[in-house]
Each structure stands twice: as structure tokens, then as C-alpha cells.
Amino acid sequence: MSKQQPISKSRRQIVLGASGAAALGVVAPAFVRAQPASFKIGHLTPRTGFLGPMGEYAVMGATLAVEEVNAAGGVLGRPFELLAEDSVNPQTASSKAQRMVERDNVYALVGEISSASGLAISQVATRAQKMFFQTGCNSDELRGKNCSRYLFHTEANNTMYVRTIGRYLQRENMVKGKRWMAFTADYAFGHDLFEKTKAFMDANGGIFISNDMIPTDATEYSAMILKIRQQKPDLVMSNLAGNQTTNFMKQYNEFKIPFPLAGADLNSVSIWGAGAEGFSGTWPIIWTHQVKAPSAQKFVQAFTKRFNRPPDNQGVADYLAIKILAQSMNAIKSDDTMKVIQYLESGVKFDVLRAREGYFRPWDHQLMFEMYTVSPNPDKKAGKWDIMQTSAPVPEPSESLEVLAPSQQENACKFA
């Protein structure tokens, strides 16, 4: 017969609180209504592979946000606790999200960059009725046929990127002809991005004379460069992603291609990876550390002090997701998920580290904000973090933020 283990002091106190105290008529709310010590936030994003460099900044942005929330007193008197893991691929993202929901009992999920993984996480979150703030997935379908009442977007969608670069190229009269070539990442993100790019071209009288699908593990682009020289396009449009973009820009400059280069998606890490000698072209971006809004510069200073480098656009998306969640819960003084969702859908505006405040659209949960374009900095003596220059906001201050995003008729979302 096994020897019975003694009951610990803490266990005795709990037993007293639940039974002995009741017999004595003593109220013991600390035990009867015990609550978890923290709100757990599950953070999933790729830390390896061709999206890994962006995932690194995503984790830094989320970490800083949690630290700031807790330093300010937490949420409803309780701290946020960040559980961060590498999502790797859609299958892993789904299984890890499920584990975070079932085993860790996270309050909400945040993160991701791959749209396929984002969809997998969203399905888990929706079944569990947990909010998921996705911070790097561009697919319009996540805001359309695959939308969810529990899914919110602090990243722009592909249409917003395409309209940002398209409007800027038109405004600056940077393209003299209508013959464009495209090179597209051969997975869901790239396919969707090309579809949106082509829609913009069709609406503006342009023609894509070719579109080559490029494997995500490609690193050598000499055949593409040769094709560009042969076809002599008026513009080369990149629909590449992650490290693809960095390597393509480097080789484009090495071969001194004389035709204008633009892209429909870019991240600061790709610019820094290409370096001053490799970065070229004009690209849309949701945010850079050069944005002059006071709150943006305050964030840049805090991030740089914490991580010894400036933040990129991915870091700011993850940072904002957690800060907005905390602000919303404190504003309504509730952790009831549906009440938080209703608050976010109410049109309330948030400081999104730009000149104009942002808001979530109630029908697709897209965060609306100003965007920008980036191009090489003509000052060759600029530091390694400032090899690009950031444009004035797009759209213009007199325009609605809605001009960039698809309308409800263009990308219908129907919440279940």
C-alpha cells in the first residue's frame, strides 16, 4: 500500500477556503472566485524559412507591446503574458494554435505572416470563439470569403498595397508606357497579389506582356534578368515575397537593368537585406521608422532602446495588435470577447503611429490607416537603416482612407 502524501500548507488553505470557511460563515472570495494570474496571448509567426527575418521583428514588436502594457498596470489589473512560437507552416500553425487554445487557455491569438497559415489559425480561433489579430497576412480572401467575426487585420490586404503603388506611380508620372512585366511568388500570396495587380492594370489601360511564377526557394534570377533585357518593358513589377525580393533587387542592380522597377509588396527587412548597393525600385509599405508622427517616433525610440535596432513594418503591426487589444479591454472594463469585438466594430479610432488615426471597418475588420511608398535614398552617406526614403502618406490628407481598400461589393465578407 502506498504511503499517502501529506497535504501542503497551500492545499490546506484552499480546502479551508472552500469548505471550512463556509462552515464558519467566512467569505473567501480569493479562493471561491479564483482567476488566472494573467491574460495569456498566443503569438504565432514564422521564425524560420524565407519569412523568418520578418517573424523575428514580429516577436520583438509583440514583446515590447506586452512589456509596455504591463508597465502601465496591465489589463483590468492583470498582466499580459506572451506565449510565442514558430508557426513554420499551415499544419504546424493549426496544431500549435489548437494547443494554445486547449492547453494554455489563451485569451486571444496574435501574429502570422503566411496567409495560408493565417487561415488555419483563424479556423481554430473561430471554433474556440477566441479573437485572432493577424498581423502579416495580405490575402484579400481572409477579409472576404474566409472572413470571421473573430478575425481582425492590422496588416494591409493586397488590394491596398497595389492601389498604394499604383496611385503613387500615377501621381508622380513615373511610368511612361503601358507594357509591364511581372514576376510572382508561386504560392497563394503571390497568386492573389498578381490578380490584384492585373485588376489595377486592366482598369488603367495597361498590359502585362508576361508573368513568370517563381518558386519560393529560388535564389538565382539571371534567367529573369535576361528575359527583361529581351522584352524591354516599360515597367518591371515584382510580386515576390520575403528573401525572394531581397535577392531579386540585388541582382537587378548588379546587372544594371535600365528599366523601372516597382513592386506590390515590400518589408523593411528586405530593404536592409539588400543594402545600399542592392536596394532599387519603388514599393508600397504600410509603415517605416521614418514616419514623422510624434507617436511613431516615440515608438521608434522605445524599440531601438530595447532591441538596439529600429523597428520594421512587421514589428509595428504586431505591436499595434496587442496595444489595441489592451486599450479596448481597459476602455470597456471587460474581458468579455463579444463585448470587445463590438467595441472594435463601433468605429472607435486608435493611434496607429501615423499622422491620422485608424479604425477597424465593422464589416471585414480591416484596420484602416495611411500607407507609404519607399525608394532608394539619394544620400549615399545615410546610415544602414536609412538607405530608403519614405514618401508622404497615401492617400492624400484630403482623401478618405477607404480609397485604398476594396469596397464591400468588391470583396464581400459575411460573418457567420
pLDDT digits (tens, 9 = 90+) for 38-80: 999 999 999 998 889 999 999 999 999 999 999 999 999 999 9
* Residue 59 domain-assigned (yes or no): yes
Question: Which residue type does 74 have?
Answer: G
Last-in-domain residue among 219, 252, 285: 285
Q: What is the CATH number of the domain that holds 191?
A: 3.40.50.2300
* Element housing 391 (H / E): none
Q: What is the pLDDT of residue 33?
A: 52
- pLDDT at residue 35, rounded to an integer: 54
- Give the range of the structural domain holding residue 197, as residue numbers without chain letter: 159-285
Last residue of a domain, one of 238, 255, 285: 285
CB 315 within 8 A of CB 58: yes
Q: Same structural domain for residues 106 and 43?
A: yes
Same domain, 253 and 329: no
144 domain-assigned: yes
183 and 279 in a single domain? The answer is yes
For the record, the C-alpha cell of 167 comes out as 496611385
Task: State the average pLDDT for the chain.
Answer: 90
Asked whether residue 123 falls in the same domain as residue 73, the answer is yes
Domain count, the chain: 2
Does 152 share its domain with 301?
A: yes
Beta strands in 154-204 (DSSP E): 179-185
Task: Give the pLDDT of residue 36.
Answer: 60
- pLDDT at residue 214 above 90? yes
Q: Which residue would you say has higher pLDDT here, 213 or 20?
A: 213
Domain boundary among 331, 355, 370: 370
Q: Which of helix, strand or coil describes residue 416?
A: coil
- Do 202 and 222 belong together in one domain? yes
Together in a domain, 151 and 223: no
What pLDDT, in 10s, does the model give residues 291-331?
999 999 999 999 999 999 999 999 999 999 999 999 999 99
Higher pLDDT residue, 33 or 201? 201
Pair 111, 192 in one domain: no
Residue 14 lies in a domain: no
Dihedral sign computed on CA atoms, order 28, 30, 31, 34:
positive
- Burial (0-12, 13-18, 19+ Cβ within 10 Å), 410: exposed
Same domain, 152 and 173: no
Does the structure show a pLDDT above 80 at 29? no
